Structure formats: structure tokens, C-alpha cells
Amino acid sequence: MQHQSLAGHSREQRKQRTHTRIKNTMLLLMSEKPVSSITITELSQVSGVNRKTFYSHFESIDALIAELEDDFVSNMFSLLSQDKMPTYINTPPLLFRVLLERFEQNSDPLRLLILTGEHNRLLIKVKTRIIQTLGAMVLELDSSADQERFMYHIEFIAGGLMAVLERWAMEPERIPFSTVSQTAWQLLEHVDTLF
């Protein structure tokens, strides 16, 4: 019985390694060419799996990209310190400053994901996560707060930040993310008066 349990565990680890290898290969190929020119055959060959194996993990390239987006968003928000959430509520631009720092540390994958052509989906996921994070916290910390008004402000800031990220990714010249981040932060400093 223990042997079967070990075999199942090993099989699951192999499956997870293959899943990760396919995602990493996709990111590699995305850094070399437009997503529209990446085929499942090429992706399978470069990652060392057959097409059937690819389809056992993902139903399409689009599903693979959607999972890469989800991974990116989860990673960005998992790094937020929960004990600082009250500070983020009182000073929302600070949350955006922390996110910009996280984005800067991961600017290459961010650019690749925005350039997939599905960037609206990624940007919506990021914006939704920002709104969910702050919206839940404002109610938890202050049930008398005007959440509707607060959420309009967060929507405004998140939408603007996402527009800046989209423009940065689409620029033909590779502007350093640190430049974009600094510009966004300067704009956010003036948003404090909204709260």
C-alpha cells in the first residue's frame, strides 16, 4: 500500500514538473517571437513533450497564457504584507507603490504577458485583484466607511495604473520600467487628496 502511495506521489511530481516545463517553455518562446506565431507543435517540441501531453495539461495556447497570467497576478499579490493592509487602506497609493516595485522586479514577464495580445485580460485580472484586496480590507477595518466612494477612487487609480502599464509594454523603445514606475508614483502622490 505504501509503495502505491509513493508511486502516486512520484507520478504527481512528474506531472507538475511537466506542467511547469511547458509554462517555462512558453515564456521562453514568447521572449523570442509573437505569441501568434507559436504553435502547439513547436511548444511541445521545445519543451520535450508530445502534443497529447500538452493537451493533458492545457486545452489551448490561450488557456496556457491565461494560467501564466493567473500565476503572475497571484505572485504579485502574495508578496503583499498582510500586516500592512491597514496602512494601504489609509494610504492606497502606498499599495500601488508596492505593486509597482513588484512589477519592476518582474518587468520581463509582465511585458511578455501584456504583449500576448490578451493584455486586456491580464490588466483586468490585476485591477480586479487590487479592488478585491482593498475592498475587503476597508470593510473589515471600518464597517462605517463609505465603501462605494472608496471603491470608485480605487477603480480610478487601478484603471490609470493599468493604462500606464499597457502603454509601457506597447512602446517600441524599451523604456526602463523604473522610469515608468517613477512617473506613475509621482502621479499617485497627488491622488492622496482624493481620499
Cβ neighbour number for residue 54 with a 10 Å cutoff = 21
Closest CA to 56 of 108, 104, 119, 14: 14
- List per-residue pLDDT tens for the chain, 195 residues long: 555 565 566 888 999 999 999 999 999 999 899 888 999 999 999 999 999 999 999 999 999 999 999 998 888 887 666 677 667 766 767 777 777 888 888 888 888 888 777 667 887 888 788 777 776 666 665 555 566 777 777 777 777 777 887 788 777 777 888 888 788 777 777 665 555
The CA–CA distances, whole Å, from 28 to 18, 63, 158 equal: 15, 17, 29
